Structure 1
């Protein structure tokens, strides 16, 4: 196939138009390296969870929430004073420095305090850096561009999510668990170099400047805006439902009395299935769905699909059914819900984009994890009860998604000073 024809087919697949290729390329590569680094670390976090013990994971989730409570004001302070470039250098630089420190701590063995600290830190860092990445994306692309291109950018992350576990599997015996932390640090630095080169086709000069405002402006924005409050509720409820399924998976896997090697293989196969399906959804489905049916339908599709396997789980409690739910929920979350949710933030001003978004993606998401973990522990439901409790949750998620789609359409169309972005028109939004 001639090169020109191949390039044209790639453009058609990605929805890329003239002048957008460079920004799309560096965005794709930045998310590729970022999630490759995280998925090198993810098995390390799961190993730390084994050291902590499944019966104590709700405490680890609560400590993660505590970590978020400490990080969010620091991030708000930095975002109000640093340019986009300096903010990226600070957050990514701190991430790699802490990884190097943990590598030195666990090189001679993994004491319980180190396992708990590393589990919490990986859970915190993942949300912070991914939230910052998507904030830069929302700062660089217009409304309609986001609906066309965010699915393909997310596909870069899912491609990295396939490479990361492969690197771990091939190198862990050579470098050890502690050595993986340095491998991940190198990948995250590569991500930083790519993200620093991203400048969207319609970005304006102010996009790289400090956003100003107070440290707690993000919380104030969420409380004061019905639109942002609905996005926050969507994130919290998604975390609660996901945590219920995660804990039930852990309980059923433990009850299956598998060997450690078999458990590791099972989780690896699960991650592979999730990431392959997410990649297909991001590259082929997400952009087209957001353009043709709008963000509301895109946000509602996955929760509605989950009602079927949840009903099956209630009728026939089994580990295989829980794993099926995990594949649909996680792949749909990465492949459809995440790109659509990120596109919602293109309809708000820069300060909410950097501050309220970070509060939602980090503090409130981890609050949902902690809430879900304690509700699961306190309720003590059997598998059937967990499934029946989750069904109203996913139906509520679908309803919230549809409502947000309608609000997004109005928010994006509002002129400056009335809830609009105040950014250049670019491609005018069409579907909500």
Structure 2
């Protein structure tokens, strides 16, 4: 392509973005919201990764916990990831009914700020812990940031499904995702620029400030959600949705679409977990210090975010607007199958890193936005309860399952690990195909929408 053609293409993309902003005023607030949310997370992510991959068990676990397991003949350092994933899953199980109670009993204008307010308050607690050097802060932080990432992002996409219609979602979610990806770039840059000067403790305050901006965006976006609900005669999110506390898990069991969606997420988590564990094993043996490991993970994050942003800006919108969500769900599966086929034959460290980048980038830029558009066509209980249950309990259940599967398979070598990953990737692609068949049964956006169908957990 000549430089002139390239300039014209860039101008065309910029014009489309300006047109989208003019057509949809809430887009700017959505951009700022997701940008600040992922910036706040990625400010702290390198710290988590360095801790999780640390070969110094005392840097991760409190001395009392190490002594407890040692007294029972268990070297806790050999089960770092297994312990963390198990603990996170148990925390998710405990938090699920609390979250279900909150969204059932309180209106959207209450529970959204409360959820983010909780994360801001806990960041202030971590500031005090890291500033004073409290023992066990490493494990506590790893568990907290994992829970934060899942719940905060799940709530974000549920809220976006209140603000945008299905047609708008297919047009705009790629742009919104790109704003988040830019935030994911910005977070590590802030950490690199500030952490040496201000220390880890003060990075908690930086992240908390970004989450405060998220709360402001929620308050600004709320009126657009109210307008959309009024225009389409949907049950107002300004009223408590009621229902059972564990309705989300029950819907997953009873509804075929949600079952296939949950299975697709679990298998996708399985692929990511196998790669993550192999990546950590490589980092543990290849790098001697936490700083070297943090630099390695930062480089991977940069590569993932770069590829994600390119796809979001150049591919996602055009693909979903023209062809719907099918290509966005199936293309990542095909790419992962190819990658694991190569890894099962030749598990070179560089190839592991490349497949990790492609896997995560395709999830963030294609599969995740495609899945989230489905929630624009269903009721509030599906969005806030079932959607959150899939993104938290089901997600971490998959993590827990496959972290132990990896522990077993790793004894037979990397070829066996990636051979199993190839089978899992094939099953994930099949579940995506079945999900598409169920999604096609949902009423079209032009179908009549009554209050009952849009508020009782049935498809809207």
Task: State the TM-score, normalizing by the size of structure 1.
Answer: 0.91
Q: Tell me how far 1:8 sits from its aligned partner.
A: 8.0
Tell me which residue corresponds to 2:414. 383
Matches within 5 A, 1:268-417: 268-379=298-409, 380-413=411-444, 416=449
Q: Is the 8 A contact 1:36 1:163 kept in 2?
A: yes
Name the counterpart of 2:63. none
Cα pair 2:51 2:290 within 8 Å, conserved: no
- Kindly indicate whether the alpha-carbon contact (under 8 Å) linking 2:287 and 2:293 is maintained by their aligned counterparts in 1: no
Partner Cα distance (1:7, 1:421) in 2: 40
- Give 1 or 2 for the bigger CA radius of gyration: 2
1:167-178 alignment runs, 5 A limit: 167-178=190-201
In structure 2, how many angstroms separate the alpha carbons of the residues matched to 1:247 and 1:240?
11
Q: Does 1:44 align with 2:62?
A: no
CA 1:366–1:419 in structure 2 vs 1: closer, same or farther (change >3 Å)? farther
| Residue correspondence of structure 1 range 252-267 to structure 2 within 5 A | 252-267=282-297
Q: TM-score, normalised by structure 2?
A: 0.85
C-alpha separation in 1, matches of 2:430 and 2:19: 28
1:284-331 alpha-carbon deviations (Å, 9 max, x no partner): 211211122221221111111112222221222211011001100111
* Map of 2:128 onto structure 1: 104
1:392 deviates by 1.4
Which whole-Å CA distance do the structure 1 matches of 2:433 and 2:453 have between them?
20
Shift of 1:16: 2.2
Stretches of structure 2 that go unaligned for 5 or more consecutive residues are 1-9, 61-76
2:20 paired residue number: 16
Of stretches 168-177 and 305-314 in structure 1, the one that deviates more from structure 2 is: 305-314
Equivalent position of 1:142 in the other structure: 165
Q: 2:98 aligns with which of 49, 52, 74?
A: 74
How far apart, CA to CA, are the structure 1 residues paired with 2:19 and 2:442? 24
Confirm whether residue 226 of structure 1 aligns to residue 256 of structure 2: yes
2-structure distance, mates of 1:102, 1:17: 37
2:154 alignment counterpart: 131
Q: Return 312-321 or 398-407, whichever deviates more.
A: 398-407
Alpha-carbon shift at residue 83 of structure 1 (Å): 1.3
Q: Distance in 2 between matches of 1:158 and 1:60?
A: 26
| Alpha-carbon distance in structure 2 between the residues aligned to 1:220 and 1:181 | 36
1:418 Cα deviation from its structure 2 partner: 13
1:62-112 residue CA offsets vs partner (Å, 9 max, x unmatched) = 00001101111101000011111211110000000011011111213252x
Shift of 1:372: 0.8
Moved more, 127-136 or 50-59: 50-59
2:108 to 73, 80, 84: 84
Could you give the per-residue CA deviations for residues 356-388 of structure 1, whole angstroms, max 9, x where no partner exists? 111001111011111110111123231111111
**Does 2:210 match 1:187?**
yes
The structural deviation recorded for 1:129 is 0.8
1:138-177 deviation digits (Å, cap 9, x = unpaired): 1111111111111111111101000000000111012211
Structure-2 residue corresponding to 1:202: 228
In 2, Cα distance between the equivalents of 1:11 and 1:216? 45
Which residue does the alignment assign to 1:157? 180
How far apart, in 2, do the equivalents of 1:14 and 1:390 lie? 42
Q: Residue 141 and residue 269 in structure 1: after superposition, are their counterparts in 2 closer, same or farther (change >3 A)?
A: same
Structure 1 residue ranges, 4+ long, deviating more than 6 angstroms after superposition: 417-420
Rate the CA distance shift 1:274–1:9 in 2: closer, same or farther, 3 A.
closer
CA contact (8 A) 1:65 1:370 kept: yes
Q: Which runs of 5+ in 1 are unaligned?
A: 1-5, 424-432
SS of 1:208's equivalent in the other structure is coil
Please state if 1:31 is matched with 2:34. yes
Cα distance in 2, alignment partners of residues 180 and 274 from structure 1? 23
